[in-house]
Amino acid sequence: MGRASWRLRPGRSSTGFHPVSRSFKRHEHQGVHAVHADPNPKHTPYRCKTVLSVFGSRPEAIKMAPVLSELKALHGIQTRVCFTGQDRDMLEQTLGLFGVDTDYDLEIVRDNSSLFDTTTESLPALREVMLDAKPDMVMVHGDTTTALSAALAAFYLRVPVAHVEAGLRSFDKWSTWPDEFNRRTIDTIADLHFAPTARARQNLLAEKTPDGSIFVTGNTSVDAAHTIAARQDDFPMLRQRFNNRPLVLLSVHRRENFGRPMEKIFTTVRTWARQNPGCSVIFPVHPNPNITRSARDILGELRNVSLIPPVDYTQSIFLLRNCQFVMTDSGGLQEEAPAFGKPVVILRDTTERPESIENGSAIMTGSDPEKIMTVMTALSNAHSDSYRRMAAAGNPFGDGRAAHRIASIVQRSLAPALVESGRVL
């Protein structure tokens, strides 16, 4: 098998790319986007510091978009965005909600990409991007292989790294794999660690991360959820699927649940759905055949279970706002649901987000049928004491201002003279 190729969005610079100011126009050349600088950028008496953000998936884009939006509003900071993924349309729709666009598009991460492919193709491509963008800081999010590759490329070029959502730990390198290894390695490289919670900070301190590099900010997923919820979007076609009946939002996609664990989860949901015909379940099904086949075979014939294609972010927040409780193995939903007072059933055996279990907004069942059935039965009654306690527990993952805190810290780090002079907006 030959080495897969990768492309960059070309411009006119000597390296094959064109760095741009915050104000730009997008042009099309043979199906490849070229971004041209504003010919009359606003003059400033200082050199703007450049922050290059790199991500390769929609969840990363959702969590980074609020930070990018905040950074764009600051004096002394200019942003560059590099996307390594394949689904550009979905990405642009997501970033567009926050007024953010991409500057570099590598198209490396594909549905069939192996971890080897992603890593070996990302490093040389990201090196070229960084040589062109000349960033003063590279910002990555979370624990993906793209984030690890970007942190490595920046480290090799001696560019400081900021890690958003630092300090999460499952303390098991195989659960989740390869996420735990990725985030630990990124935190070793990073110069700024934006920990979402006090527990994440303690994890970093236990690994002898310098205290002065750690900042507890909250999680940017809460910021994003608040922003989209404020739009009050309505989706009548989705609403018809539950028609004001109590709704359970189901989301299962993690590799660790493939096979027998997923079959046990779906079989238990089927039993519960048959016992509760007055309730509805909506399951946006990931296109992975390991999931679609099992979901169709076990849940496909139930009148009160809707198997639907993946939803966009605005639709996801709509379902979250309107459901009674959430059943998920998704870290993002685990963070977002408490913001809307929705109890969470965590369909995993371990979690790097134990805060929601500790504060009572979530309960972890894994794929155990008896545990799942017990919890689903208890949460089916929104007037029960157990439901009310979980719904009122609050959100341990933030207050919706994480992105503002992160942007302010980045500005103080890169442009301290501006902050000291008061020119911070």
pLDDT per position as a tens digit, 89-134: 777 888 888 888 899 999 786 666 788 888 889 999 999 999 999 9
Residue 153 lies in a domain: yes
Residue 19 has pLDDT above 80, yes or no: no
Same structural domain, 144 and 254: no
Question: For position 87, what pLDDT does the model report?
Answer: 67
Residue 216 contacts residue 198 (beta carbons within 8 Å): yes
- 216-274 pLDDT, tens digit per residue, is 999 999 999 999 999 989 999 999 999 889 999 999 998 889 999 999 999 999 999 99
Q: Look up the pTM and report it.
A: 0.83
The reply to whether 84 and 116 lie within a common domain is yes
Q: List, as one string, the DSSP characters of 201-231.
A: HHHHHHTT--GGGEEE---HHHHHHHHHHTT
CB 49 within 8 A of CB 78: yes
- The CATH number that applies at residue 383 is 3.40.50.2000
Q: Is residue 367 part of a domain?
A: yes
Please state, in angstroms and rounded to a whole number, the distance separating the CA atoms of residues 180 and 350: 12
Q: Are residues 31 and 112 in the same domain?
A: yes
Looking at the fold, whether 98 and 140 belong to one and the same domain comes out as yes
152/158 Cα distance (integer angstroms):
10
Residues 251 and 309 in one domain: yes
Decide if 12 contacts 18 (C-beta within 8 A): yes
- 184 with 251, same domain: the answer is no
Q: Do the domain assignments include residue 378?
A: yes
Burial label for 303, CB within 10 Å (0-12, 13-18, 19+), is: exposed
250 falls within a domain = yes
Note whether residue 313 is domain-resident: yes
- The answer to whether residue 141 is domain-embedded is yes
Query: Do 151 and 191 fall within a single domain?
Result: yes
What residues have CB less than 8 Å from 119, skipping those under 6 apart? 145, 148, 149
Tokens representing 274 are 């048959």
State which H helix or E strand residue 32 sits in: strand 32-37
Which single residue is written with the structure tokens 């990768």? 6
Q: Is residue 13 part of a domain?
A: no
207 with 270, same domain: the answer is no
Determine the structural domain holding residue 244 and report its residue range. Answer: 235-391
Residues 369 and 405 in one domain: no
The angle subtended at Cα 7 by Cα 5 and Cα 11, nearest 5°, is 155
Report the distance separating Cα 28 and Cα 107, nearest Å. 16
pLDDT digits (tens, 9 = 90+) for 53-89: 999 888 899 999 999 999 999 988 999 999 998 667 7
Domain shared by 70 and 210, yes or no = yes
* Residue 36's pLDDT band (cuts 50, 70, 90): very low
Is residue 3 included in any domain, yes or no? no
Count of domains forming the chain: 2
Q: What percent of the chain has pLDDT over 70?
A: 85
Backbone φ/ψ region at 31: left (φ over 0), alpha (ψ -120 to 50), beta? left
**Same domain flag for 409 and 338:** no
* Dihedral of alpha carbons 329, 220, 391, 322, sign: negative
Residues 380 and 410 in one domain: no
Structure tokens given for 54: 């790199």
